[in-house]
Amino acid sequence: MPVQGIRTVTAARNGVGAFILQCKQLDFHYCDWAGSSRGMVAFLKHQLPAFAKANPQIEIRVSPRPHKHPVIKGHYINGREKAICVRNLEPEQIFNKANLLKEASGEKLKRTKKPITSLNESVRGIWSPYHGGFKSV
Amino acid sequence: MKRLQLQRWSSSVLSPQARAGSRLPRRIQHGLRYQSTNPFPVTDAEAEQLFEEEPSRSSIRPSQISKHALPSPPVEAARESAKLAALHARLYLPSRLPLETLGRTLVDESADPNANFNNESLATLGHDLLTQYTSEYLICTYPRLPMTVIFAAMYAYVGPKTLAAMTNEWGVELAAAPGGEVDPGHLQFRRLAPGTNPNETPMRTDRRWEEQTWRRSVTSKVVNDNVFGDPVRASVNPKLLAKAAAKNTAGVSAEEASAQFVRAVVGAIYLHAGRPAAKRFFEQHFLSRHLNISDLFNFSEPARDLARLCARESFEPPVAKVLSETGRLSRHPVFVVGIFSGKDKLGEGAGSSLLEARSRASVAALKAWYLYSPMNVRLPNSMEEDGAAPWKPVHVDLGEVIV
Amino acid sequence: MFSRTALARAFALPVEQCAHFSVARACLHSAATASTTTTTQPQAPLSATPRVQTSAPSTKPPASAPLDPASLKKPVAPTFTKPLELNQSLLSQLPNLTSQQPHYIISHLHDKPYLLTQGDQIRLPFLMPNVKPGDVLRFNRASVLGSREFSLKGAPYVDERLYECRVRVMGVDSEPLRIKEKTKRRRRHVQQVRSKHKYTLLRVMDVKIKTAEELLQEGAVVVDETA
């Protein structure tokens, strides 16, 4: 056999062709009785339908959680989840929190110094000491 | 160039009634409700034609049956599933593709053996489309690729592992077990029984002589095997297959079920939204993924191959020359060797011994030859569009050297 | 309501902040809204990328443009005063560059250079206003276009009609919470300053350098410098 093929898998590059939002599901938990859920209940009544309509790619679940503070949970495509407690928040603030969960990538927060990550090889090539007239190396 | 008609294709896949049939049976069947994505339900007579063995297992299921008794979720449930609607929106599927069909693509054959409710037919069409578009792209963009590398690249683009990864990246969740009460947004399939080895599939082919450990040539793979160079399963009598499926004995691995789902989505887009939409879906979801084709080569004797290649292309025989070196007598020598054919430098490589450097240089030369890619290549499937410019043949090379 | 806040935000923020690039909101939600127009154009929901954008964006939108959010999201009409001028040396050298794949581009955003190739992911060191995940931006400040052996340098920038570089907004990333402890002299108290910045994630969709034929087709003019 002169040459064999090596089996690999192509790497995903979300956004190069199709774009898939990483947040796939948002859970809204509230309590009917507690005062810390007052803003959450108002948000669910008045703003959630518009939010859900604007983001059809997110599955939205609303469920009561009695005697607990209200929580928004985001589930992401990479399998992780993020939860934000929204006790005593106004509906406007809760909307901002839901937007934050929607726009997040779901990755664990990391401190990075380089702005660019690339799968491609260096376009200009890697410097070599044996080329370009450096004969004395 | 002859064009395939959508209607003619879709009729065989969607339902026996998708052809504009007579209106009378439709009227008769109107009173009943069916679990089917077909606009026109299958009549009794045709159902019996399809399933001669078991006329009782026709596609007709009145809605009185409890959904716990169904093998897969009823069709009406698709409209109420939030997961399914979210998946539809997440993939930006065209609105002409109904939720019911998307729900059907999520039902594997192992979950529901009834061909009118599982994704088998859509997946067959989708697999053919995917492999056709991928092979066209590969052969036209890299006309000199060896056949084994084409097999590997096909596997990388549309192989089951990639499709399973894509299912994951689309946010599709797997159901623990199939059933009528399951949310139709889950991928439903019967899992393998614990203890079974998923790789140990009975590979009985139609060619008995190949079940022995005889050497199988690339030509034999091209002719007889599937698009990835794997042996094709032996053809089984479909009646026996249906019986085996009815017993629901065998499950499938999650990877295989996910791959079938992705193929079925492509087939469904082709049927409901047309060829341009399917092509665009392929470009956006499959071709946009990252693959470095030069990583797929595995040479065993590159220097010999290069000599054969030069002989075939009537170049001067390749000669390896040391371009520069350092530390020949030390513990870490480095040699830079170039391969020359006459005055042309074919390739160059560095290594810690002369032989290693020479073989690296040969690999570089061979890859430079095999990975030639013409500019502004036009794919044959562009001829399917209306008003396409006349076709100019693309250059396709002989392929690998035969040693 | 969301629309009201978006309106207020759009009015409050100056347009010049996002003036470096044109914001083209791709027709992303048309599939979900299930409008009747999608039935006549089946390709519309799937084509998230505007494949052929004939209007090159301008660096500044016209000052008299109405500032409603809808017009903010559309690509700004070009305001080039004269066609692109190609001299003979550029025409003779450009095929060398365009025929050698792959290409890179050094694109400038708020005067910071980013060396980009196709498929790269960028984490901008700031939060970009007025963009949503899925938006497609077009970078039009580049100092260098190049391939492995050739490069085209601008003085200081290359004309934006020579290339196309599109990026997609992927979302917003955040850094882990940083706590800086501050102390003053002779004060037995440690002040904790918390910061958690947000950054915009981008993905480079394509880096394309136009060939001479494409440029001439788009209305470039060949200038003879010897005359």
Whether residue A131 lies inside any domain: the answer is: no
Mean per-residue pLDDT, C112-132 = 95
Do B77 and B136 share a domain, yes or no? yes
* Confidence at C189, pLDDT banded by 50, 70, 90: very high
A6 contacts B296? CB cut-off 8 A: yes
Q: Between β-strands C163-174 and B344-351, what pairing exists: parallel, antiparallel or unpaired?
A: unpaired
Strand order in the sheet with A59-64: A59-64, A23-30, A71-76, A81-85
| Residue numbers in A near B295 (CB within 8 A) | 6, 8
What are the distances in angstroms from CA B46 to CA B21, B51, B59, B60, B240?
12, 9, 10, 11, 20
Do B308 and B249 share a domain, yes or no? no
Residue B361 has pLDDT above 50, yes or no: yes
| Residue numbers in C near A17 (CB within 8 A) | 49
Do B104 and B176 share a domain, yes or no? yes
Q: What residues of chain B, 30 to 69, have a C-beta less than 8 Å from chain A? A: none
Among C124, C214, C209, C218, smallest CA distance to C167 is for C124
Q: Do A53 and A60 contact (CB within 8 A), yes or no?
A: no
Residue C1 has pLDDT above 60, yes or no: no
User: How far apart (Å, rounded) are the C-alpha atoms in residues C165 and C140?
Assistant: 7
* Confidence at A135, pLDDT banded by 50, 70, 90: low
Residue B29 has pLDDT above 50, yes or no: no
User: How far apart (Å, rounded) are the C-alpha atoms in residues B335 and B326?
Assistant: 7
pLDDT score recorded for residue A2: 81
pLDDT score recorded for residue B51: 43
Q: Around Cβ B351, how many Cβ atoms within 10 Å?
A: 17
- As for how many domains chain A has, the answer is 1
Instruction: Verify cis geometry, omega within 30 degrees of 0, for the bond prior to B16.
Output: no
Do B120 and B253 share a domain, yes or no? yes
pLDDT score recorded for residue B36: 46
Domain range holding B319? 299-382
Q: Per residue in B126-157, is it b (16+ CB within 10 Å) or e — as a string? A: bbebbbebbbebbbbbbbbbbbbbbbbbbbbb
Whether residue A88 lies inside any domain: the answer is: yes
pLDDT score recorded for residue B236: 63
pLDDT tens digits, one per residue of C151-181 = 999 989 999 999 999 999 999 999 999 999 9
| Residue numbers in A near B151 (CB within 8 A) | 5
Residue A20 has pLDDT above 70, yes or no: yes
Whether residue B252 lies inside any domain: the answer is: yes
pLDDT score recorded for residue C44: 36
Do B314 and B281 share a domain, yes or no? no
Domain range holding A76? 23-103
Mean per-residue pLDDT, A83-89 = 96
Whether residue A92 lies inside any domain: the answer is: yes
pLDDT tens digits, one per residue of B190-217 = 998 888 777 665 555 556 555 555 657 8
- Does any CB of chain A come closer than 8 Å to the CB of residue B323? yes
Strand partners, C169: C202
Kindly report which listed range (B88-102, B367-381, C110-124) carries the lowest average pLDDT score.
B367-381
User: In whole numbers, what is the pLDDT of chain B averaged over residues?
Assistant: 82
Mean per-residue pLDDT, C120-142 = 94
Whether residue B62 lies inside any domain: the answer is: no
pLDDT score recorded for residue B249: 60
Residue B354 has pLDDT above 70, yes or no: yes
Do B326 and B288 share a domain, yes or no? no
pLDDT score recorded for residue B205: 57
User: In whole numbers, what is the pLDDT of chain C averaged over residues?
Assistant: 75
User: In whole numbers, what is the pLDDT of chain A averaged over residues?
Assistant: 93
- As for how many domains chain B has, the answer is 2
Strand partners, B349: B337
pLDDT tens digits, one per residue of A31-83 = 999 999 999 999 999 999 999 999 999 999 999 999 999 999 999 999 999 99
pLDDT score recorded for residue C18: 36
Whether residue B99 lies inside any domain: the answer is: yes
Whether residue A123 lies inside any domain: the answer is: no
The residue out of B293, B317, B350 marking a domain boundary is B293
Among B355, B357, B352, B356, smallest CA distance to B338 is for B357
Nearest residue in chain C measured CA to CA from A16: C205
Whether residue A122 lies inside any domain: the answer is: no
Q: What 8-state DSSP symbol labels residue B295? A: G
* Confidence at B19, pLDDT banded by 50, 70, 90: very low
pLDDT tens digits, one per residue of B297-350 = 999 999 999 999 999 999 999 999 999 999 999 999 999 999 999 999 999 999
Whether residue A6 lies inside any domain: the answer is: no
- What is the CATH number for B312? 3.30.160.20
pLDDT score recorded for residue B387: 85
Question: How near does any CA of chain A get to the CA of C80, in Å?
Answer: 29
Do B257 and B354 share a domain, yes or no? no
Mean per-residue pLDDT, B124-134 = 96
CB neighbours of B223 closer than 8 A, spacing ≥ 6?
A: none
Do B263 and B120 share a domain, yes or no? yes
Q: What Rg do the C-alpha atoms of chain B give, in angstroms?
A: 26
- Does any CB of chain C come closer than 8 Å to the CB of residue A113? no
Q: How many CB pairs under 8 A join B and C?
A: 44
B90 contacts A2? CB cut-off 8 A: no
C73: amino acid identity, one letter: K
- What is the CATH number for A99? 3.40.30.10
Whether residue B284 lies inside any domain: the answer is: yes
From B85, B185, B336, residue closest to A130, measured CB to CB = B336
